[in-house]
C-alpha cells in the first residue's frame, strides 16, 4: 500500500490578509504545483498572529502543532516540510524543535532549509535582486529593510552588501529594523553617495507590520522619515519578496533539495 505523502509549508504569518495572499499564499501555491504528488498543508508559527487573524478577520490558520496533528489523524506517513523563513535563526530552530516532538508519528520527515542557509543561497538572492531591480540607475539608491536576528548562523546582511558592491551594484544597501547592522549603514550610505532618490523596499517575505510601521510609518522614527529629514527624496515599494516569481522558485529549490533528506 502506497504511503500517503504530504507537503507542509510553515510560515511565521502576517496579520495583513491581502499581503499574505500575495506572498505566503503565492509561495504555497508554487510549492503545491511543484509537488503535486503530495497533499498540501500549511501552518503559521505565530500564535499571536493566528489569534489576531481569527478575531479581526474571521480567518482560521493552523498552528504548527495543529497541522502536524491534523496530518497524523488523516493518515499521512511521509512528510516534506518547507519553511518560508528567510534566515536560519530562532524561528527556524523553534520549528525544528516542534517537528522533532512529532517525529515518531510519521514514517519519514524531511525538512527544507530557509531561503538563506549558505553563501551560495545569499549569492542566488543577490543575483535575483540585481536582475529584478537592474532598471534603477546608479544615481539613485535602493535601500532594503531586512528584519535582523541575534541567532543568525551566517552574517547574511553583511554578505549581501559585499556582493552588491562586488557586482557593480554599490547603489544597493541593506539595513535591518532589529539588531545588527541596523539603520546606520543605510544612513552612512546615503550621506556618502548623496543619491538623487532613495527607493525603500522590504527585504522581507511579506510587507507587513515592519514595512508599514518601521519603514514607511508616519512617525519620526520610520526609515522614510529619517531619510527625508536627511534631505533625500524617498519613494517606497511595498512589495514583499514572496511576490517575486524568482524568489518563490528558490523556495521550491530548497524543498526539492530536502525531499530525499530524512530528519533523524
Residues 6+ apart with CB under 8 A from 217: 224, 225
**What's the rounded Cα separation, in Å, for the pair 190 and 194?**
5
Residues 6+ apart with CB under 8 A from 246: 128, 131, 132
Backbone phi, psi, residue 208, to 5°: -105, -130
Q: For the chain, list the domains and their CATH numbers.
A: 5-115+244-258 (3.40.50.1400), 119-204+206-239 (3.40.50.1400)
Contact 34, 221 (CB under 8 A): no
Task: Write down the pLDDT at residue 149.
Answer: 83
Q: What is the pLDDT along the chain (264 residues), one digit of tens a residue?
A: 467 999 999 999 999 999 999 999 999 999 999 999 999 999 999 999 999 999 999 999 999 999 999 999 999 999 999 999 999 989 999 999 999 999 999 999 999 999 999 999 999 999 999 999 999 999 999 999 999 887 777 899 999 999 999 999 999 999 999 988 999 999 999 999 999 999 999 999 999 889 999 999 999 999 999 999 999 999 999 999 999 999 999 999 999 999 877 765
**What's the rounded Cα separation, in Å, for the pair 129 and 135?**
11
| Sign, Cα dihedral of 15, 16, 18, 23 | negative
Tell how far CA 144 is from the center of its chain. Answer: 13
Task: Write down the pLDDT at residue 263.
Answer: 67
Sheet holding 234-236, edge to edge: 172-176, 141-146, 198-202, 234-236
Q: How many other C-beta atoms can be found within 10 angstroms of the C-beta atom of residue 68?
A: 26
Q: How many other C-beta atoms can be found within 10 angstroms of the C-beta atom of residue 75?
A: 9
Please report how many Cα atoms fall inside a 13 Å half-sphere around the Cα of residue 142, on the Cβ side: 24
Task: Write down the pLDDT at residue 264.
Answer: 57
Contact 107, 3 (CB under 8 A): yes
Catalytic residues: 147
Residues 6+ apart with CB under 8 A from 76: 4, 5, 6, 39, 106
Residues 6+ apart with CB under 8 A from 117: 88, 154, 254
Task: Write down the pLDDT at residue 243.
Answer: 97
Amino acid at each position: 500500500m502506497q504511503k500517503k505523502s504530504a507537503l507542509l509549508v510553515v510560515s511565521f504569518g502576517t496579520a495583513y490578509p491581502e499581503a499574505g495572499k500575495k506572498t505566503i499564499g503565492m509561495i504555497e501555491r508554487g510549492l503545491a504545483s511543484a509537488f503535486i504528488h503530495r497533499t498540501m498543508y500549511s501552518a503559521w508559527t505565530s500564535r499571536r498572529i493566528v489569534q489576531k487573524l481569527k478575531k479581526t478577520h474571521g480567518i482560521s490558520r493552523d498552528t504548527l502543532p495543529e497541522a502536524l496533528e491534523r496530518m497524523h489523524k488523516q493518515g499521512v506517513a511521509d512528510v516534506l516540510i518547507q519553511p518560508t523563513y528567510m534566515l536560519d535563526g530562532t524561528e527556524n530552530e523553534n520549528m525544528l524543535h516542534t517537528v522533532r516532538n512529532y517525529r515518531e508519528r510519521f514514517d519519514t520527515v524531511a525538512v527544507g532549509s530557509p531561503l538563506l542557509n549558505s553563501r551560495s543561497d545569499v549569492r542566488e538572492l543577490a543575483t535575483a535582486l540585481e536582475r529584478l531591480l537592474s532598471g534603477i540607475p546608479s544615481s539613485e539608491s535602493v535601500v532594503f529593510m531586512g528584519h535582523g536576528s541575534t541567532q543568525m548562523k551566517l552574517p547574511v546582511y553583511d554578505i549581501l552588501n559585499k556582493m552588491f558592491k562586488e557586482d557593480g551594484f554599490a547603489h544597493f544597501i541593506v539595513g535591518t529594523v532589529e539588531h545588527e547592522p541596523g539603520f546606520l549603514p543605510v544612513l552612512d550610505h546615503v550621506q556618502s553617495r548623496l543619491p538623487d532618490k532613495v527607493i525603500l523596499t522590504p527585504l522581507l517575505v511579506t510587507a507587513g507590520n515592519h514595512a508599514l510601521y518601521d519603514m514607511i510609518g508616519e512617525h519620526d522614527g520610520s526609515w522614510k522619515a529619517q531619510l527625508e529629514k536627511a534631505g533625500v527624496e524617498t519613494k517606497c515599494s511595498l512589495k514583499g519578496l514572496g511576490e517575486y516569481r524568482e524568489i518563490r522558485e528558490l523556495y521550491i529549490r530548497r524543498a526539492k533539495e530536502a525531499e530525499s533528506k530524512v530528519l533523524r
